[in-house]
Amino acid sequence: MTRTPLFDTHCHLDFPPFQDDIGGHIELARQHQVERILIPSVGPSNWQVIANLATHYPNLYFALGIHPHFIGQDPQVMLQQLEKVLAETSQHTRLVAIGECGLDFIVDTPADIQEQILIRQLELANEYQVPVILHSRQSHNRLLQLLKQTPPIKGGVLHAFSGSEQQAKQFIKFGLKIGVGA
């Protein structure tokens, strides 16, 4: 039986559990037909790290963004940094998305700040014509409202989805794939 090669659209290979043997983890994934892996960023602290990994390993790709858990003290400065790095990196052949970005109504960052950061990242995804890697925790309905205002023209992935079938169908209408955990 021939198995279809897989593309893992959300693996934080730069995080500590993988750091001791990134090459070994990539090989293990390959043995299980995962031929390509996308590393989403969380913020300025790992943008360069994941770009370097994608340059070093030919089957790795990356996304640049600001995760709602990692919004710092000055969100506007973070957005300016993101815009600058995107302008400098946009020709990198392995930069394939904006993200990880989204809403998380469990973290302490005020919802209005998260929404401003997300909306700008959706705009950037549309400007650069790339998909988005979305995070949503206890925020599916609000995320759907914001996507109506700024729909991602290239779609994307909503990872670790935990909503209802009705919500999933609404996200799919925006061209998003629904990611589920194992």
* Position 3 confidence tier, pLDDT thresholds 50, 70, 90: confident
Contact present, 27 and 150 (Cβ < 8 Å): no
Helix axes 111-128, 140-149, angle to 10 degrees: 40
> Considering the entire predicted model, what is its pTM?
0.94
Measured distance CA(54)–CA(37) in Å, rounded: 9
Q: Which residues contact 130 (CB under 8 A, 6 or more apart)?
A: 63, 95, 96, 97, 98, 154
Whole-number average pLDDT of the chain:
95
- In eight-state DSSP terms, residue 73 is S
Tens-place pLDDT, residues 75-89:
999 999 999 999 998
Predicted pLDDT of residue 1: 63
Q: What is the pLDDT at residue 132? A: 98
Structure tokens belonging to residue 68: 């709602």
Q: What is the pLDDT of residue 182?
A: 52
Quote the radius of gyration of the chain (alpha carbons, Å): 16
Model confidence pLDDT, tens digit, residues 101-139: 999 999 999 999 999 999 999 999 999 999 999 999 999
